[in-house]
């Protein structure tokens, strides 16, 4: 029902070996009594400590993701929502207009675990393998949270109407993932 890997349930595989997006997908269909509990119930599977602040609403899930970025170097956190093959991307593509929860996909972070409902096949690509797959050198990616939002660096491939920010993750079929950046 939750898509939790059987080897994780049996203790044959550590939680830390499972990518962030896949762990988020386990909670995609979970119902919580309070909206903040969508985030707070996930603290243990990420080994994250957050001060509980009932009344903050969806901001609890944003705070959780910000804490994950600081502690877990896994770009699958950014691979939520709908996906489209590269040849389907254009300015009118419905795949680029809304996330699974109905929020605009113009945000780097998801608004709820439900946004990860299709992320159970994702996996992290090691920095070494990621760099080997690119025809150019890349700096070690770092993400920091500032008063103005999140700052990070990813390899960018420019196209006519958009750019692709490449993520060090795999869709399970050998397909790389990227964020679509549009003005």
> Closest by alpha carbon to 40, among 18, 25, 57?
57
Confidence of residue 2 (pLDDT cuts 50, 70, 90): confident
Instruction: For residue range 52-65, list pLDDT tens digits in order.
Output: 999 999 999 999 99
CA 87 from centroid of its chain's CA atoms: 22
Long-range pairs for 137-140 at CB < 8 Å and ≥24 separation? none
DSSP H helical segments within 41-174, as ranges?
Answer: 43-46, 59-71, 127-133
**Mean pLDDT throughout 161-183?**
85
**Mean pLDDT throughout 66-88?**
85
Q: What percent of the chain has pLDDT over 70?
A: 88
Judged by average pLDDT, the poorest of 12-16, 104-108, 158-162 is 104-108
The pTM score is: 0.84
Q: Is the pLDDT of residue 99 over 80?
A: no
Mean pLDDT taken over the chain: 84
The half-sphere exposure of 181 on its side-chain side, counting CA atoms within 13 A, is 14
Rg of the Cα trace of the chain?
A: 16
46 Cβ partners below 8 Å, 6+ apart?
A: 20, 23, 64, 67, 68, 71, 72
142 Cβ partners below 8 Å, 6+ apart?
A: 152, 153
Give residue 83's pLDDT: 76
Q: Which residues of 2-38 are buried (b: 16+ CB within 10 A; e: fewer)?
A: eebbeebeeeeeeeeebbbbbbbbbbbeeeeeeebeb
Tokens (6 digits) for 65? 């993701």
Higher per-residue confidence, 28 vs 160 = 28
Q: Is 123 exposed, middle or buried (0-12, 13-18, 19+ CB in 10 A)?
A: middle
Q: Is the pLDDT of residue 135 over 90?
A: no
Give residue 97's pLDDT: 47
Instruction: For residue range 20-46, list pLDDT tens digits in order.
Output: 999 999 999 999 999 999 999 999 999
Give residue 79's pLDDT: 92
Q: Which residue has the tokens 């910000």?
A: 66
């Amino acid at each position: 029902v939750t898509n939790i890997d059987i080897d994780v349930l049996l203790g044959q595989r550590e939680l830390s070996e499972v990518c962030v997006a896949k762990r988020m997908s386990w909670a995609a269909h979970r119902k919580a009594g309070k909206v903040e509990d969508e985030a707070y119930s996930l603290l243990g599977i990420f080994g994250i400590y957050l001060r509980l602040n009932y009344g903050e609403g969806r901001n609890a899930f944003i705070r959780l993701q910000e804490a994950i970025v600081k502690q877990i170097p896994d770009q699958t956190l950014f691979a939520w929502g709908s996906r489209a093959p590269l040849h389907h991307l254009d300015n009118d593509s419905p795949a680029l207009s809304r996330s699974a929860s109905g929020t605009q996909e113009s945000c780097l972070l998801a608004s709820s675990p439900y946004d990860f409902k299709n992320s159970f096949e994702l996996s992290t690509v090691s920095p070494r393998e990621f760099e080997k797959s690119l025809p150019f050198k890349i700096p070690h990616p770092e993400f920091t949270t500032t008063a103005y939002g999140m700052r990070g660096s990813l390899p960018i491939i420019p196209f006519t109407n958009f750019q692709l920010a490449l993520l060090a993750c795999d869709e399970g079929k050998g397909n790389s993932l990227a964020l679509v950046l549009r003005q």
